[in-house]
Amino acid sequence: MTPSRVATALVLVDDQYDFFDRPNLVPDAVSIQKHLAALLEGFRQHRSPVAHVHTKVRADGSDRMPHWIADGRWACVDGTDGALPPTELAPADDELVVSKQFFSGFAGGALDKWLRDHGVGRVVLAGLYLHACVRSTALDAYELGYDVWIADDAVGTTDAAHGVFSRKWLQGRAARFVSVADVLGSLDTEVVASSTSIASEVRAATETARRAQMQWAATDIRERVALLERWASELETNAARLVELVIESVGKPRSAAEDELRRTTAHIRSAIALTDTFGSPRGLASQVSVRHQPVGVVGLILPWNNPVALLVGKLAPALAFGNAAIVKPSPEASAVALAVLELLDRAGAPTGLAPVILGARDAGEAVCDDEGIDAVAVTGSIATGRTIVARCASSAKPVQAELGGNNAAIVLADVDLDLVVPSLIRSCFAFAGQRCTAIRRFVVERSIADRFETLAAEATRRIVVGDPHDPSTEVGPLISPEAGARVRAVIERAVSEGAHIIARGEVPGGLQCESWLAPTLLGGVAPESAVAQEETFGPVAVVLVVDDIDEAIAVANGVPHGLVLQIVTGDPLAQRRILAEGQAGIVQIGAGPLPISADAPFVGWKASGIGPPEHGEWDAAFYTRPQAVYGEPPW
């Protein structure tokens, strides 16, 4: 049904520096600000009403919210830069500015009166935070009788799970979540694309996959193995074409893309080997046996940075165990996923065994929400993983999530720095640091810190930045200009907080400056600072100087992540101690590239992993359900 013609106003909530600067903001500040600016510009061009709601605190802090006082929190103090919005979001002279103390923008009545004076019947809310002030403002707007839209890609949250619950609770009750593009389109057409279309697409794909899965699960295990072997052969035959597609799609340097293709077929061989262990029932004792049944239809939500290996690494064991899968690739790598799945079809896969759903976040959410999906596997950021877990919780779907790492290398004083530093630097900056296994923090004993920084600076400047097609290139572009802007903002903030640049590589002339970023090594960094605590996912590393092994272990462990820990010392006692106390699922002893094995568990501790590990025999814990059979079995 086409909505009735009403005046529409934009209400920006708490788009202030102090709120943008808080950790764990999802999406990141650069992305939110870009969408907010687009909204603001669109409403101004259409001469539609715009209001700004800002939190303001007196200089003495006496009117801070009680929980801020209890936590010792200061933010948005009147007269400080933190209380201001970014320049591109600053209010115009004819736009309303409302100050608030607590959550809702409608407190005090000024916003409601102004909207009614302008004949507004619909409000579009955007800004920070979805789980708090945006939600509260939306509920009050609904209660006051407004048609409430929330610009889905122009709101952020620092509490991913709470943000999910807020979105799900508000949707269909008090508000409607609409993309920025559709909001702006509605100013012209007053028609918004159906929010149910992607859900319908997922539902149809799931029904198709369910029918295919029931037949596939009944197929002899030897036929499943034969399909996987043919798929591996197709991937090997077409490796050169896939390498070119990876380079073009995500800017991965050629050598890294070729390595990814080599690892890909290893995942298929590992999945085939699993059928020997888990493909047939096993007797435990007299009258008791165990068999592993497929889960059913599994949703696979994939990132862009390893578009072949991660897709195959998840899909191969799923198929080996008799499942079907709904594949949701990252938009940046959709072409790669389609090419890989085309080769699966060419290998003889049954129709409907692995349908593809293309799209961005809304497509991933639809996969999580669909009742026909039995489990979800995802690789992404911590915030992404927590969001997916929250969405799957209501239907108790199992989740397997690999969620990135802010990885540390502990470098003790006994090592030969001339030998290890070049390898350490490459383990950080390769593929512009866009790998969950990249080393981002060098935890170095003080007695060797100066020498380490000197050698690391030399190695950083020697890193080859350039065209990803060139076999000699080690660092290509970041995935997008927005990613470049985000990482630059991280560096600028760190420097403003007292860090200094130890070394910065060089980007050759003629390359796109927005996406290419020179490898940057920072010193003078506090372990508790944002650049040391958060996963930058770019060509940035920090040197953290410590006094001894006790402090080194504490600093290395002192982040939410727990994926990779590198131990760089020749002292066996120190190695054993770090192994015992280090909080990471993957530990490498020695410098150099991390040789990921398809048969070993790829496991993140703490916030870096949820659910069973990936790869090898550990995949059986996710892609199958064990079934105990008592009595004389019929096989």
How sure is the predictor about 156, in pLDDT bands with cuts at 50, 70 and 90?
very high
Return mean pLDDT, the chain.
92
Contacts 24+ apart (CB under 8 A), 612-618: 612/400, 613/585, 614/313, 614/314, 614/377, 614/400, 614/402, 615/267, 615/270, 615/313, 616/270, 616/274, 617/274, 617/277, 617/278
Percent of the chain with pLDDT over 90: 81
Across residues 135-161, what is the average pLDDT?
93
List 234, 402, 453, 535, catalytic entry: 402
One domain, residues 280 and 174: no
Is the Cβ–Cβ distance between 78 and 59 less than 8 Å?
yes
In a domain, 635, yes or no: no
Across residues 247-271, what is the average pLDDT?
95
- Convert the pLDDT of each residue in 548-587 to its tens digit: 999 999 999 999 999 999 999 999 999 999 999 999 999 9
- Convert the pLDDT of each residue in 157-216 to its tens digit: 998 888 888 998 898 789 999 999 889 988 865 433 444 588 899 999 999 999 999 999
Residue 5 scores a pLDDT above 50: no
Residue 599 scores a pLDDT above 60: yes
How sure is the predictor about 356, in pLDDT bands with cuts at 50, 70 and 90?
very high
Q: What is the pLDDT of residue 545?
A: 98
- Convert the pLDDT of each residue in 388-397 to its tens digit: 999 998 889 9
In a domain, 35, yes or no: yes
> Please, is 9 exposed, middle or buried when counting C-beta atoms within 10 Å of its C-beta (0-12, 13-18, 19+)?
buried
One domain, residues 598 and 455: yes
What would the two tokens of residue 454 be? 């000197």
**83: helix, coil or strand?**
helix
**574: helix, coil or strand?**
helix
Q: What is the pLDDT of residue 287?
A: 82
Determine the Cα angle at 249 with ends 261 and 28, to 5°.
110
One domain, residues 586 and 624: no
Residues in the chain: 635
Query: Rounded distance, CA 433 to CA 256, Å?
Result: 12
What would the two tokens of residue 352 be? 């409907």
One domain, residues 113 and 84: yes
What would the two tokens of residue 521 be? 């090594």
- What CATH number did the domain enclosing 571 receive? 3.40.309.10
Across residues 598-615, what is the average pLDDT?
96
Q: What is the pLDDT of residue 196?
A: 55
Instruction: Choose between 341 and 182: higher pLDDT.
Output: 341
- Convert the pLDDT of each residue in 420-471 to its tens digit: 999 999 999 999 999 999 999 999 999 999 999 999 999 999 999 999 999 9
Task: Say whether 428 is catalytic.
Answer: no
Query: Rounded distance, CA 307 to CA 302, Å?
Result: 7
In a domain, 560, yes or no: yes
One domain, residues 590 and 622: no
One domain, residues 475 and 599: yes
Residue 113 scores a pLDDT above 90: yes
Across residues 45-65, what is the average pLDDT?
94
β-bridge pairing 282-285 and 288-294: antiparallel
Task: Say whether 402 is catalytic.
Answer: yes
Question: How many domains does the chain divide into?
Answer: 3
Across residues 525-547, what is the average pLDDT?
96
One domain, residues 185 and 284: no
Across residues 130-144, what is the average pLDDT?
95
In a domain, 633, yes or no: no
**178: helix, coil or strand?**
strand
One domain, residues 160 and 201: no
One domain, residues 312 and 212: yes
In a domain, 37, yes or no: yes
pTM of the model: 0.82
One domain, residues 498 and 520: yes
What would the two tokens of residue 241 be? 């074409």
β-bridge pairing 288-294 and 297-301: unpaired
Determine the Cα angle at 207 with ends 204 and 209, to 5°.
110
Q: What is the pLDDT of residue 550?
A: 98
Q: What is the pLDDT of residue 512?
A: 63
- Domain stop point among 189, 223, 253: 189
Upstream peptide bond of 129 is cis (omega within 30 degrees of 0) = yes
Q: Which of 5-9, 93-97, 461-465, 600-604 has the lowest mean pLDDT?
A: 5-9
Q: What is the pLDDT of residue 3?
A: 35
Residue 269 scores a pLDDT above 60: yes
- Domain stop point among 165, 189, 213: 189
One domain, residues 479 and 599: yes
- Domain stop point among 138, 168, 189: 189
Q: What is the pLDDT of residue 195?
A: 45
Across residues 86-115, what is the average pLDDT?
94
One domain, residues 377 and 343: yes
- What CATH number did the domain enclosing 180 receive? 3.40.50.850
How sure is the predictor about 6, in pLDDT bands with cuts at 50, 70 and 90?
low
How sure is the predictor about 148, in pLDDT bands with cuts at 50, 70 and 90?
very high
In a domain, 456, yes or no: yes
- What CATH number did the domain enclosing 256 receive? 3.40.605.10
Q: What is the pLDDT of residue 281?
A: 78
In a domain, 608, yes or no: no
In a domain, 447, yes or no: yes
Q: Which of 319-328, 510-519, 561-570 has the lowest mean pLDDT?
A: 510-519
Domain range for 45 is: 7-189
List 436, 445, 534, 535, catalytic entry: 436
- Distance, CA of 386 to chain centre: 10
